[in-house]
Amino acid sequence: MISLASYMPARIVCGKNCVRENASLLASLGNKCLIVTGGSGAEKSGALADCRAALESVGVAYERYGKIEPNPTAESCLEAGALARETGADFIIGVGGGSAQDAAKAVAIFAANPSMTVAEIYTRTIPAKRLPVALIGTTAGTGSEVTGVSVLTGGATGRKKSISGADCYAAVSFCDYRYTLSVPFDTTVSTALDAYCHAVEAYLASSCNDLVALYALKAVGLLCGFVGAPEETALTEETREALYIGSLYAGLAINVAGTDFPHTVGYYLTENYGVPHGKACAVFMPVLIERAKKYCPEKLGAIEEITGCEATEFAMKIKRAAAVDVAIGREEAETVAQRWSAGVKNFDRSPGGFTVSDAASALVAISN
């Protein structure tokens, strides 16, 4: 039986100069906005300049909040939401990588709900009231442009946790790969690994349908050449474009199917060892592939045909590309794994299901 269930309401506008040439789409969202950014990436990429020029060309006023962290905190989003209200913003623009884009989604919810606390954004009624959101991506990784997900850090636990739902989609996403040309090599590797993990995890998930398979395998084809052997000299403009479009296809895949255990367990490496998100997911790729061999081996043939490599061998290449120098002992691993004892959707849809004990073993295995 063919299954094509999907929901992704964001308007996607792709191509060179797409921000400046489609300024009218921003004007349709309101007369004033708050631009949400992180550090210097928005400026270096040229995306912020294009955003400002587009807004000015159609008479849209703007303010900027530029304090979003690499792993955006819910507290910063709450602060930015208050600024949006104070300045009379009609909509929010997120300019940057996944952090700025994810933050923009949360900012839009906080802005429209003055009494909402950090804790309440995780327990809100969905869809919550929110301001419209426009996104301008500058990295090839998260696929936030096309997903209804925002990953935040903070609240009572200080841990990474996602919010999702119909209120977490952009109204419009501008996708110009040229903004990724200024991204440093190491960041490019990490974001590309994140996108590759998105594609493979969605494809191997029990929630995968035929449409997800199309998106995921298209992404694998666009991403595998670089992530299998990342070299700075290989980062031509053509490669950059392939990585960015690949990240969008991977985002479309997880938008329907979600991710598997590597994303959930990888959060611990980011929170406690400072491992960049994409690399923190990639180190678990060999464990995921071994489980797929046991529980859904028929899927691996398609991945092997595209990558031109045996699945386990390619998974080890991905792990080596991540180059994560972390060793976790059994005692630490078993203690950490208890945080997932209440049940996790990402575990349930992983090949064969995934348990707390499996998570502990996967943490120990990253040093092998």
pLDDT above 90 covers what percent of the chain? 94
Q: Is the pLDDT of residue 99 over 70?
A: yes
Q: Is the pLDDT of residue 8 over 70?
A: yes
What digits encode the pLDDT tens for the residues 37-89? Answer: 998 889 999 999 999 999 999 999 999 999 999 989 999 999 999 999 999 99
pLDDT confidence of residue 328: 96
Alpha carbon 215 to chain centroid, angstroms: 15
What the block records as the tokens of 71 is: 């792993």
pLDDT confidence of residue 21: 98
The answer for residues whose C-beta is within 8 angstroms of residue 269's C-beta and 6 or more apart is 275, 280, 283, 324, 326, 366
Domains in the chain: ranges and CATH? 11-180 (3.40.50.1970), 185-365 (1.20.1090.10)
For residue 230, say if its preceding peptide bond is cis, omega within 30 degrees of 0. no
Cβ atoms 287, 276 nearer than 8 A: no
pLDDT confidence of residue 228: 95
What digits encode the pLDDT tens for the residues 79-98? Answer: 999 999 999 999 999 999 99
Quick check: helix, strand or coil at residue 290? helix
pLDDT confidence of residue 1: 65
What digits encode the pLDDT tens for the residues 155-187? Answer: 667 788 999 999 999 999 999 999 999 999 999
Within 10 angstroms of residue 280's Cβ, the number of other Cβ atoms is: 29
pLDDT confidence of residue 300: 96
* Pairing of β 61-65 and β 159-164: unpaired
* Residues 223, 184: Cα–Cα separation, whole Å: 17
Q: Is the pLDDT of residue 2 over 80?
A: no
User: What mean pLDDT, rounded, does the chain reach?
Assistant: 96
Within 10 angstroms of residue 88's Cβ, the number of other Cβ atoms is: 13
Q: Is the pLDDT of residue 222 over 90?
A: yes
Cβ atoms 166, 125 nearer than 8 A: no
pTM of this prediction? 0.96
pLDDT confidence of residue 156: 65
Cβ atoms 145, 173 nearer than 8 A: yes
pLDDT confidence of residue 169: 98
* Residues 284, 316: Cα–Cα separation, whole Å: 9
pLDDT confidence of residue 159: 87
Cβ atoms 176, 42 nearer than 8 A: no
Q: Is the pLDDT of residue 127 over 90?
A: yes
Q: Is the pLDDT of residue 343 over 90?
A: no
